[in-house]
Protein backbone atom coordinates (compact mmCIF):
# COMPACT_ATOMS: atom_id res chain seq x y z
CA UNK A 1 0.00 0.00 0.00
CA UNK A 2 1.41 3.40 -0.95
CA UNK A 3 1.91 6.01 1.82
CA UNK A 4 -0.76 8.69 2.26
CA UNK A 5 -0.17 12.30 1.33
CA UNK A 6 -2.06 15.47 2.15
CA UNK A 7 -3.63 15.28 -1.30
CA UNK A 8 -5.27 11.88 -0.90
CA UNK A 9 -9.07 12.10 -0.90
CA UNK A 10 -9.64 9.02 1.21
CA UNK A 11 -7.38 7.02 3.51
CA UNK A 12 -9.25 3.81 2.73
CA UNK A 13 -8.05 1.34 0.13
CA UNK A 14 -11.58 0.93 -1.27
CA UNK A 15 -11.94 4.73 -1.81
CA UNK A 16 -14.74 5.05 0.78
CA UNK A 17 -15.34 8.78 1.30
CA UNK A 18 -14.31 10.36 4.58
CA UNK A 19 -17.20 10.81 7.05
CA UNK A 20 -16.81 14.60 7.27
CA UNK A 21 -15.57 17.43 5.10
CA UNK A 22 -13.09 19.98 6.43
CA UNK A 23 -15.91 22.53 6.64
CA UNK A 24 -18.04 20.14 8.69
CA UNK A 25 -15.13 19.39 11.03
CA UNK A 26 -14.53 23.13 11.52
CA UNK A 27 -18.19 23.63 12.43
CA UNK A 28 -18.17 20.67 14.82
CA UNK A 29 -14.95 21.88 16.48
CA UNK A 30 -16.25 25.43 16.91
CA UNK A 31 -19.45 24.10 18.48
CA UNK A 32 -17.49 21.86 20.86
CA UNK A 33 -15.36 24.82 21.98
CA UNK A 34 -18.49 26.95 22.49
CA UNK A 35 -20.20 24.17 24.46
CA UNK A 36 -17.13 23.91 26.68
CA UNK A 37 -17.13 27.67 27.30
CA UNK A 38 -20.83 27.57 28.20
CA UNK A 39 -20.16 24.79 30.72
CA UNK A 40 -17.53 26.85 32.53
CA UNK A 41 -19.55 30.06 32.52
CA UNK A 42 -23.31 29.80 32.07
CA UNK A 43 -24.43 31.87 29.08
CA UNK A 44 -20.86 32.71 28.01
CA UNK A 45 -21.93 32.38 24.39
CA UNK A 46 -24.86 34.78 24.84
CA UNK A 47 -22.66 37.39 26.52
CA UNK A 48 -19.96 37.02 23.91
CA UNK A 49 -22.44 37.31 21.05
CA UNK A 50 -23.83 40.55 22.52
CA UNK A 51 -20.30 41.96 22.72
CA UNK A 52 -19.51 40.86 19.17
CA UNK A 53 -22.65 42.64 17.97
CA UNK A 54 -21.56 45.75 19.88
CA UNK A 55 -18.12 45.51 18.23
CA UNK A 56 -19.54 45.49 14.72
CA UNK A 57 -22.01 48.31 15.54
CA UNK A 58 -19.15 50.38 16.96
CA UNK A 59 -17.11 50.04 13.77
CA UNK A 60 -19.91 50.12 11.22
CA UNK A 61 -20.39 48.96 7.67
CA UNK A 62 -17.24 48.35 5.65
CA UNK A 63 -14.97 47.76 8.66
CA UNK A 64 -12.67 44.79 8.11
CA UNK A 65 -11.43 42.71 11.01
CA UNK A 66 -10.20 39.32 12.09
CA UNK A 67 -11.68 37.24 14.88
CA UNK A 68 -8.74 38.13 17.11
CA UNK A 69 -9.67 41.83 16.86
CA UNK A 70 -13.21 41.11 18.03
CA UNK A 71 -11.86 38.78 20.74
CA UNK A 72 -9.61 41.51 22.10
CA UNK A 73 -12.63 43.85 22.22
CA UNK A 74 -14.57 41.24 24.21
CA UNK A 75 -11.67 40.72 26.60
CA UNK A 76 -11.30 44.50 27.09
CA UNK A 77 -14.99 44.56 28.02
CA UNK A 78 -14.39 41.99 30.78
CA UNK A 79 -15.79 38.90 29.09
CA UNK A 80 -14.62 35.80 30.95
CA UNK A 81 -11.94 33.96 29.00
CA UNK A 82 -13.23 30.65 27.59
CA UNK A 83 -11.27 27.40 28.01
CA UNK A 84 -10.37 27.65 24.31
CA UNK A 85 -10.20 30.78 22.17
CA UNK A 86 -11.74 28.65 19.44
CA UNK A 87 -15.07 29.26 21.15
CA UNK A 88 -15.19 32.60 19.32
CA UNK A 89 -15.24 30.83 15.95
CA UNK A 90 -18.77 29.53 16.27
CA UNK A 91 -20.04 32.97 17.22
CA UNK A 92 -18.25 34.62 14.30
CA UNK A 93 -20.00 32.07 12.07
CA UNK A 94 -23.29 33.02 13.74
CA UNK A 95 -22.69 36.69 12.85
CA UNK A 96 -22.07 35.58 9.26
CA UNK A 97 -25.17 33.40 9.26
CA UNK A 98 -27.28 36.36 10.36
CA UNK A 99 -25.89 38.43 7.49
CA UNK A 100 -24.10 40.88 9.80
CA UNK A 101 -20.64 40.20 8.40
CA UNK A 102 -19.18 38.64 5.27
CA UNK A 103 -15.94 36.85 4.53
CA UNK A 104 -13.61 38.92 2.31
CA UNK A 105 -10.31 37.05 2.42
CA UNK A 106 -7.45 35.84 4.58
CA UNK A 107 -4.44 37.51 6.10
CA UNK A 108 -1.79 36.99 8.76
CA UNK A 109 -2.84 37.33 12.39
CA UNK A 110 -1.06 39.75 14.71
CA UNK A 111 -0.65 37.27 17.58
CA UNK A 112 3.07 36.51 17.62
CA UNK A 113 2.43 33.06 19.11
CA UNK A 114 0.56 32.10 15.94
CA UNK A 115 3.70 32.76 13.85
CA UNK A 116 1.76 34.93 11.37
CA UNK A 117 -0.68 32.15 10.52
CA UNK A 118 -3.42 33.16 8.11
CA UNK A 119 -6.96 33.69 9.36
CA UNK A 120 -10.22 34.88 7.86
CA UNK A 121 -10.82 38.58 7.27
CA UNK A 122 -14.42 39.65 7.83
CA UNK A 123 -16.25 42.81 6.80
CA UNK A 124 -19.19 44.38 8.57
CA UNK A 125 -22.16 44.50 6.20
Digit-coded pLDDT (tens) for 27-63: 777 677 677 666 766 688 899 999 999 999 999 999 9
Could you list the residue range(s) of the whole structural domain that residue 101 is in?
24-124
| Report for 3-7, 19-23, 89-93: range of highest mean pLDDT | 89-93
Would you state the pLDDT for residue 113? Answer: 83
Q: Is residue 15 situated within a structural domain?
A: no
pLDDT of 33 reads: 65
Residue 32, domain member (yes or no): yes
Predicted model pTM: 0.71
In a domain, residue 61? The reply is yes
Domain tally, the chain: 1
- CATH number of residue 116's parent domain: 1.10.10
Tell whether 39 is covered by a domain: yes
124, pLDDT greater than 90: yes
Please give the pLDDT value at position 40.
Answer: 60
Mean pLDDT of all residues in the chain? 84
Look at residue 47 and tell me if it is in a domain.
Answer: yes
pLDDT band at 88 (very low <50, low <70, confident <90, very high): very high
pLDDT category at 95 given cuts 50, 70, 90 is very high
Position 29 in a domain:
yes
Report CA Rg, the chain.
Answer: 17
Establish if 19 belongs to a structural domain.
no
Q: Does residue 4 fall inside a structural domain? A: no
Strand order in the sheet with 64-65: 64-65, 118-124, 101-108
Amino acid sequence: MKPLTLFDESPSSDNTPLPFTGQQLATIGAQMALDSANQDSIAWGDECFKLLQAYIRLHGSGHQFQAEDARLYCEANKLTEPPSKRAYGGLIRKLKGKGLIKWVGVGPVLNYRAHMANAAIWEVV
